[in-house]
Amino acid sequence: MSQKVLVLDLTHGGEVLCSEYRKSGAEVTAVDIYHTATPELTGSLAAEGIRVLDTAPAEDFDLAVAPIHCPERLLGAARCGRVISHHEAVGELARFDVPVIEVTGARAKTSACHVLAHILQSQGRRVLLHTSRGLAMIADGERILLRHKVSIAPASILTLSKERHDADVVIAEVSLGGTGVGDVSVVTTIGDNYGIAANTRKAFDGKVQMVSGAKANVVFPEAERDLWRPHVPPEVGITTFGPSGDVDVALPKAIELGHGAKLDVVTKERCYHARLPGTFLAASYTTAISSALAAASSLGVGLEEATASLSKFKGVPGRGELIREAGCYAIRERNPGVSAGSIDWNIKVLEEVYGQDDIGLVLDPVSQKVCEKLDLDDVNRALASRPSVKGRYIINMPGINRNADFRRIGSFHEVRGKHRLMVYCTKEGYL
């Protein structure tokens, strides 16, 4: 008798899992719990012999697969022999022929992936890089974009494993935790361990799967050692970053916008040095750089060579990107991770490290296929302690409620040059 599998959620890659289980001969039922599936998608699944329902049926199933952020109540009356997350399912189904570095975290994961890709390509490796910025091949100092719009839901890793790209190593960003497929598993930070699944679980519950399923090495902040260490398998190595960790980084306390910055990379044995270009907010990249260096070290890359390569790293477009326009500087943040917390962090860095005291903040809350929406009230609360923000503006997007603290504008160009520094934040992406 074939295995009966119940897959919840067709918004975050559930259809990929459905197809894979069906190919293995399973009897598959898909549940569109958020009612977002298009007729084309449901028709395609039906053509594969997959049943699509709006709610979980009161039937017996050998296996149920649900996203980590899905409340258990959505399993309804279904009786399931085993319940696993989308992350765990991908960990069981995906196989790669080359080393994989999986990166998750509450902040800096995209930038960490790009820093690590830069380091590894400088060692002559062909890097397949999968992040919220797209799928790209990084080699010989060049970036070849393969796909622009990609998901970083766990099922995207399963899709990658089937595509057989000509790469020496895969670096993959994963949202809300990890799958455990990585030879190196990186957690940039747990942050405030925010609630998921209607606050019935925590972000930790998603990320711990990656740590507990790691194959060879785990990388996490030294400050979070007590949180992650108990879940690391005995045979798996640990490399930490940050203060008192195996790898830490330091920058000058004051940096001038548009100018390079000296980077010190500190280990327990010695210190290495490089000079970062002035094309990005170096002070906003400390987590990304230190976690990437720790990951590179766990792969056997010498820290002297890894550090030296960073002198040619120009930053990630849309992540603390520094541009000059109309005789003034502007910071570009364009990514799904834009939030009140990320805005507050960057403004704090601009005040304390870069000495900025006249900042105009422009928000474009696109929220295109992004789980966490941009909350203007949260942004206002964060900015209450940021006196440098002299102007608040919001792009006039349909469906956005009026907010007295933000002046509505039609485009960025309306306020260009009104402040010494403009910070443009666009909330978008494909999670």
SS3 319: strand
Whole-number Å distance between alpha carbons of 54 and 37: 10
Least confident of 108-117, 157-166, 205-214, 269-278: 205-214
153, two tokens: 């839901």
Kindly give the pairing relationship between strand 201-202 and strand 195-196.
antiparallel
- Return the number of other C-beta atoms located less than 10 Å from residue 244's C-beta: 10
Question: Residue 40: CB partners within 8 Å, gap ≥ 6?
Answer: none
Q: In what order do the strands lie in the sheet with 261-266?
A: 248-250, 261-266, 271-276
The pLDDT value recorded for residue 194 is: 52
Q: Which helix (H) or strand (E) holds 89?
A: helix 86-93
Q: What is the pTM of this model?
A: 0.90
- Rg, the chain, Cα only: 22
By the 8 A CB rule, do 104 and 172 touch?
no
Q: What superfamily does domain 4-81 belong to in CATH? A: NAD(P)-binding Rossmann-like Domain (3.40.50.720)
Say which amino acid occupies 274. Answer: A
Q: Kind of pairing, strands 184-187 and 100-104?
A: parallel
User: Is 52 in contact with 45 (CB distance < 8 Å)?
Assistant: yes
Of residues 40, 49, 39, the one with CA closest to residue 30: 49
Question: What confidence score (pLDDT) does residue 373 get?
Answer: 64
Identify the pLDDT of residue 18.
97
- Mean pLDDT, residues 50-61 taken together: 96
Domain range list for the chain: 4-81, 93-312, 321-428
DSSP class per residue in 208-259? HHHHHT-SSEEEEEGGGHHHHGGGS-TTSEEEEESTTSSBEEE--S---TTS
Which architecture, in CATH terms, is 93-312? 3-Layer(aba) Sandwich (3.40)
Q: Provide the percentage of residues in the chain whose pLDDT is more than 90.
A: 70
Q: How confident is the model at residue 370 (pLDDT cuts 50, 70, 90)?
A: very low
Q: Is the pLDDT of residue 192 over 80?
A: no
Say how far apart CA 49 and CA 22 lie, in whole Å.
8
Tell me the C-alpha distance between 56 and 65, whole Å.
12
What pLDDT, on the 0 to 100 scale, is given for residue 401? 55
Is pLDDT at 57 greater than 70 in this prediction? yes
Give the model's pLDDT for residue 3: 94
Residues 6 or more apart from 63 whose CB is under 8 A from it? 3, 4, 5, 6, 80, 81, 82, 83, 84
* The pLDDT of residue 393 is above 90: yes
Check for a shared fold between 4-81 and 321-428: no
Q: Assign 93 a pLDDT band (cuts: 50, 70, 90).
A: very high
* pLDDT tens digits, one per residue of 242-281: 999 999 999 999 999 999 999 999 999 999 999 999 999 9
Residues with Cβ < 8 Å from 209, sequence gap 6 or more? 68, 85, 87, 88, 91, 177, 178, 179, 180
Please count the CA atoms within 13 angstroms of the CA of 279 that sit on its side-chain side. 10
Half-sphere exposure of 388 (CA within 13 A, CB side): 22
Residue 417: per-residue pLDDT:
86
Q: Which has the higher per-residue pLDDT, 356 or 192? A: 356
pLDDT level of residue 197 (50, 70, 90 thresholds) = very low
Residue 174: pLDDT band with limits 50, 70, 90: very high
Overall fold of domain 321-428: Protein-Tyrosine Phosphatase; Chain A (3.90.190)
Q: Is the pLDDT of residue 358 over 60?
A: yes
